[in-house]
Chains A and B, each alone.
Chain A
Amino acid sequence: MGGIRNNVRALRAAHEMTQQQLADRIDLTRQTVIAIEGDKYSPSLETAFRIANVFGVPLERVFQYQDERKKPRKG
């Protein structure tokens, strides 16, 4: 969704955690975790921080933003 990518699936696998376990830790439904992992839903900032806290890593290790808008040509 947009230019936001994430490593939730990889981090979850590294922590041997199921989607339901992660969902329970951050008060989301499993379906929302699935949507986040599939880059189809960008969570709120608060939820993004909660996910990073669960994995014990900084926010930018979990979510990355890439500006996909076309930059205007100079000259």
Chain B
Amino acid sequence: MSTLSYQEKSLYGTLAADLIVYVPYFVYVIHHPTTLTHIVGTIILLIVAQIILQSIIAIATRNRITDERDRQIAGLGYRNAYFALVSMILFGMGLLWLHTINGELPINHMGLHFLSVFLGMTVISEIVKIVTQLVAYRRSI
């Protein structure tokens, strides 16, 4: 019977940290204007959550080796995440351009809006990577 490897546990930990930190942030951002403090605070919170979760997983796991299959699956994850990121950047740039020429987005809010949108893209790409890896592990690729 196949139990979870260290890599899989670590991926679930990363996914949990991402969801715990980013879901409340993006729910807040949809209804309220974001600030630099919010963005920096969210990133710091994510780092703290990751350190705590990964430390617990590392302590609880005896075998912490990474082998060729882990690297191959990670490569698959990075490939899918790359395509997701590039697609979203192109789509996001188009949307920002449209909003700007229509005058819907004040130019002085552009920088912060950009920062929030790019953070969202990074988070989605990260989730695409993790989900790809978890699916690959479950399908025993």
A contact residues vs B (CB 8 Å cutoff) = 27-32, 34-35, 38, 40-41, 43-44, 47
Contacts and interface: CB of A to CB of B under 8 A. Distances in A.
A29 B141 contact: no
B68 A43 contact: yes
A28 B140 contact: no
Closest 7 interchain pairs by CB?
A40-B140, A32-B69, A31-B5, A35-B140, A28-B67, A29-B5, A34-B2
Contacts of B137: 31
Query: How many B residues touch the partner, as a band?
Result: 10 to 19
Contacts of B140: 34-35, 38, 40-41
Nearest to B1: A34
A29 B63 CA distance: 8
Main secondary structure of the interface of B (DSSP, over half): loop
Nearest to B2: A34
B102 to A, nearest CB: 52
Interface of B: 2-3, 5-8, 63, 65, 67-70, 137, 139-141
Given A38-B140, A40-B141, A41-B141, A31 B65 contact: no
A34 B3 CA distance: 10
A50 B3 CA distance: 24
Contacts of B141: 35, 40-41
A35 B65 contact: no
A43 B69 CA distance: 8
B90 to A, nearest CB: 34
Contacts of A38: 140
Contacts of B8: 31
